[in-house]
Amino acid sequence: MTISARHLLVVDDEPHIGLVLRPFLEQLGYRVSFARTLHEARSALRATPATDGMLLDLHLPDGSGIDFLRDLRKQSGTARLPVLVLTAEGEDRILREARRLGAALVTKPFSPTKLSQRIAMMFGDVPPDDDAGGEAT
């Protein structure tokens, strides 16, 4: 699948993330939609079942991104949805759980280069690097 055919759902409650990410991701050729809450994310996934990947914050106003990721993995339609966790979280237990659930990671703040690399890895377009834990550079 070409990048231009891919739809990304960004789930993050910080308005500036959307302001920065939309033009960047669109410039890379992705179609982008946003959700600021888990409720909005669930609605977006129902409305757009052809979502190809998700960028997911761990801390949202209506719940935990990790709990949401667990729920996604239990549903047949989203069990294999590529997910990139966007986090400022440094707690190893939570990051290990995200990896166990099949998510890639990138830590905030992140550079545009690092984000585009992580998205490419999330989709399997490039092999994981030695820094797949998500350190920002």
Computed over every residue of the chain, the mean pLDDT equals 89
Question: pTM of the predicted model, to two decimals?
Answer: 0.88
pLDDT at position 2 is 57
Q: Is the pLDDT score of 136 beyond 50?
A: no
Q: Does the domain made of 3-122 have the CATH classification 3.20.20.70?
A: no
Rg (CA), the chain: 14
The one-letter amino acid code at 86 reads L
pLDDT at position 134 is 45
What residue spans define the domains of the chain? 3-122
Q: Is the pLDDT score of 3 beyond 70?
A: no
pLDDT at position 107 is 87
- For 121-130, how does the pLDDT look when each residue is reduced to its tens digit (9 = 90+)? 999 888 876 5
